[in-house]
Structure 1
């Protein structure tokens, strides 16, 4: 996908607006003298004007995306991180960047939409498709905002807010209003988007928006204003009480998911690990992705390998993730044990998600004949030297979001990587997720279902990675789907939002599960390192009796307030009204 210059084309319609009112949560594009009347004149210009919405405004969300989705949820160990021990507050830098990025997406997507709507000369079908893409990204930004921060302002037209200097006097809308707004935006996007991406380059189509809408309805089904209490103060959190999910919303989730499944022409990729390789950036299963590139301005690239890769993993000296790794709790979920040299390998997703002793990868270090986890730790490869020891007390290391070394990057992308730069796309909505959305929607409030379609879809997801699971189940339980979602989507930034969805209608169940997780590491990292090193050098594996799971660190204090992230302090200082209870937002005046 050809990218464009972020400065000269990003939301140019704002250039005549009064920019002095901008804040972190109402991001303003760079001021410039660009004249939009001379642009959007043909299909290429329309598409170029939308391309950057697939990457740049999302860049500062990457770290928050992983920390919220995976560390907060108990899938990933990250030392004393406030995301691990639930001590997060509004001064956290990653939280502030996350919020600013999401509001930036809203502003940019809205302005690109307005520019396209007012443009003349371009083919109408391409113009409409690009407008639909912009609205889908706007909706996805709001979906992250409401699931992260709860009630937030609805800023349908950022330009009007800026021109009227209302940015410091915006009230939050009720959570139900925000979900209704997201639905309204996506319904409009669906009318604009084509049935298929004619470019074949991973652009959004109608079914991508429908897939997102199915997920929105599934999440919304559990939320009820009647069973919610808004609390004011520093954290502005919500308290929910247990109740049944809304059947009409569940039916809508199933309806949209099934339309995607039966009519989009998409299918699951045969090999699970292929989904996360560069030559599968664009594939049938990946529906909505951040489309990163190394061939452009800063913020267009994927930087996740820096946070997650072990020291020395690539040639650029920009990896610092050796102290962190997939949690022991996630290892338990996969039926694996870092204190054993024997890999069960009954689920292909485990190896594609985390490295453990004995694991080797042919898609990393293709110039070195492949990658061996323990060899890397204790011997290294030419131009790839680790610190010579195991640093992570869970014994595991990340796999997803890593591209490998520069030779791998060139192999898969035909371009070189760079310092904190890769072109590996981040998939934020996959077809397998849609399959499981349908399953959960059909289970609904009953706890189980015998729906044959749901049973078959569940089978397809599991059988791809667990070959011994060789026939459709006769019934599905909520617990089946809950666990399957974790294994299928582990380390893809989604798990915490599953907990938020569950908290809406089963708050105590969500609290209890998070509190019961094995979120700590083993109590003696040096002994774990020695265990691994002896096995690599001598082939001996003797676990000392002192090497046990760390129970001395208390379980996190998970409460109702834990499921709504604190608003960034910078936003609250700019607009103190954000600390007040939300107000009813009238959506009847929303037009496109």
Structure 2
């Protein structure tokens, strides 16, 4: 049994989850039942509807808690840290025993295990009173979640095992990795099916679930990433065309709009406002002040000090945005103020009872180092008094964006650009400039890859996305991606008298930097994870 322990530790809690875990106050609200089994759990429409509710929160929690942003923003050079485990990512020297690896790996396979449970059981075990369209819809939701988990896995680790049947793993936990090509095809198959099963919109308590547009938007992102895999100097045109088609359909047919103000994306206005956010195509959804694993913990780690949170957490004084990220902002970009705090920035929505909060950058003010003379603002929402009591220790209710409509706009622009050096295509410019002008910047009349790359870095800074942009760039232009990282300023500031001085620090990236090591706890118990990957048998 020892060799099976790691995988069983992921799968068994998923089974137990069906007997009563609640991830959302609205999604999952049913009376307790005794002797609940897979054969009688899915008997009513309410039970079937509840089966996918946890997939919006709890299984993702271990990823979101630290690994998500450490991988996405520290590795990419957006986020500075000298914390031991996290610094390994920042310095591109991650070892197999790093706890963030286990958190990400376990969380993603937990999502897959729960998704498999729904996909494999709803069609055959749902009660006679459950409508066919509801059964199709929840399977579509589960396939979206499974595909999204695999999309993270394939970009971070490359070849990984494709698991469709949880029971098979219980009896044989030594399974091989599958090729990158197989994993991408598996993701595309799942998202394509999800798009055909999911509705265009929801009403009532189901608002906030993934839709047809969520699936098409994520599929566009997958095709854009895959377009560079195995290429050299250019990208696969067929994949670029699919990304353009899918992103274009979301933009032109969904009726969804960007929020007018970037700042509104990151201010918590309550659960209903989170669900009604048109720009959010998929987000991890959190409930504040409930059990551990249901909440967003970002503020606890990112807020500069505990006066900003009012609940005893707020440990962000020793970390913060890199000098390189700070230098990336153009003058007048409104996103800077809403993403990072710099000296003199004022926030009326924080510490309201004191008249707001003004950030003062100091190298060491007795609270935190502020080594980069800046702090993180995004996802920092303030005290309980600032949020109608909906903040507790290490617990807020603001959702974590995974896919925003702004992302789809920029995907469309990049897919149109494709392998060209620049484009003045009217539709591409409309999509690109919709994101850019919202930030208070002038529209462009022609765009390049570097323009889009810059816009993506700034738009999604501290949303754990930039490392994945670097990975897909490395797919088709490795020397350029490596040079970009090696030229980043990852150093800190210090005072020499009254003069601010730069303590420069650069790192050396290589091709190996773009693939994470599989956790040692996994390879120790399944040596097949160290063997060459094999194609997946889609016909079995």
TM-score (ref. length: structure 2): 0.90
One of 190, 215, 220 as aligned partner of 1:214? 220
Match of 1:578 in 2: 529
Q: Distance in 1 between matches of 2:169 and 2:8?
A: 12
Q: CA deviation at 1:259?
A: 0.5
Question: More displaced, 140-149 or 22-31?
Answer: 22-31
Query: Across the two proteins, how many residue pairs are aligned to each other?
Result: 509
Match of 1:424 in 2: 398
One of 240, 251, 261 as aligned partner of 2:251? 261
Q: Distance in 1 between matches of 2:403 and 2:384?
A: 27
Q: CA deviation at 1:321?
A: 1.5
Structure 1's unaligned 5+ residue stretches are 1-17, 228-241, 336-343, 379-385, 531-542
Aligned pairs for 1:121-270 (under 5 A) are 121-162=129-170, 165-168=171-174, 170-199=175-204, 201-224=207-230, 242-270=232-260
Return closer, same or farther for 1:367/1:123 CA change in 2, 3 Å cut-off.
Answer: farther
Q: CA deviation at 1:49?
A: 2.0
Asked if the contact 2:429–2:447 (Cα under 8 Å) also holds between the matched residues in 1, the reply is yes
Aligned pairs for 1:446-525 (under 5 A) are 446-467=420-441, 469=442, 471=443, 473-522=444-493, 524=494
Asked if the contact 2:333–2:440 (Cα under 8 Å) also holds between the matched residues in 1, the reply is yes
Question: More displaced, 80-89 or 202-211?
Answer: 80-89
Question: More displaced, 42-51 or 484-493?
Answer: 42-51
Q: Distance in 1 between matches of 2:438 and 2:387?
A: 26
Q: CA deviation at 1:102?
A: 0.5
Asked if the contact 1:215–1:437 (Cα under 8 Å) also holds between the matched residues in 2, the reply is yes
Match of 2:383 in 1: 405
One of 266, 280, 290 as aligned partner of 1:276? 266
Aligned pairs for 1:316-335 (under 5 A) are 316-335=311-330
Q: Distance in 2 between matches of 1:316 and 1:295?
A: 11
Q: CA deviation at 1:46?
A: 2.3
Q: CA deviation at 1:516?
A: 0.3
1:349 aligns with 2:302: no
Q: Distance in 2 between matches of 1:79 and 1:220?
A: 33
CA deviation profile, 1:32-68 (whole Å, cap 9, x unmatched): 5532333333433222221111010011101111001
CA deviation profile, 1:75-113 (whole Å, cap 9, x unmatched): 011125111111111100111111111011100111023
Q: Distance in 2 between matches of 1:41 and 1:263?
A: 35
Return closer, same or farther for 1:407/1:47 CA change in 2, 3 Å cut-off.
Answer: farther
CA deviation profile, 1:3-33 (whole Å, cap 9, x unmatched): xxxxxxxxxxxxxxx9983425972133655
Asked if the contact 2:289–2:391 (Cα under 8 Å) also holds between the matched residues in 1, the reply is no
1:427 is paired with a residue of what secondary structure?
strand
One of 71, 77, 81 as aligned partner of 1:78? 81
Q: Distance in 1 between matches of 2:532 and 2:488?
A: 33
TM-score (ref. length: structure 1): 0.82
CA deviation profile, 1:274-323 (whole Å, cap 9, x unmatched): 01122242311111000011254321111111111122131222221210
Question: More displaced, 416-425 or 264-273?
Answer: 416-425
2:293 is paired with a residue of what secondary structure?
coil
Q: Distance in 2 between matches of 1:122 and 1:24?
A: 32
Asked if the contact 2:3–2:173 (Cα under 8 Å) also holds between the matched residues in 1, the reply is no
1:98 aligns with 2:104: yes
2:70 is paired with a residue of what secondary structure?
helix
Match of 2:24 in 1: none
Asked if the contact 2:268–2:397 (Cα under 8 Å) also holds between the matched residues in 1, the reply is yes
Asked if the contact 2:3–2:526 (Cα under 8 Å) also holds between the matched residues in 1, the reply is no
RMSD (Å) for aligned C-alpha atoms = 2.1
Question: More displaced, 425-434 or 78-87?
Answer: 78-87
Runs of 4+ in 1 over 4 A off after TM superposition: 386-390
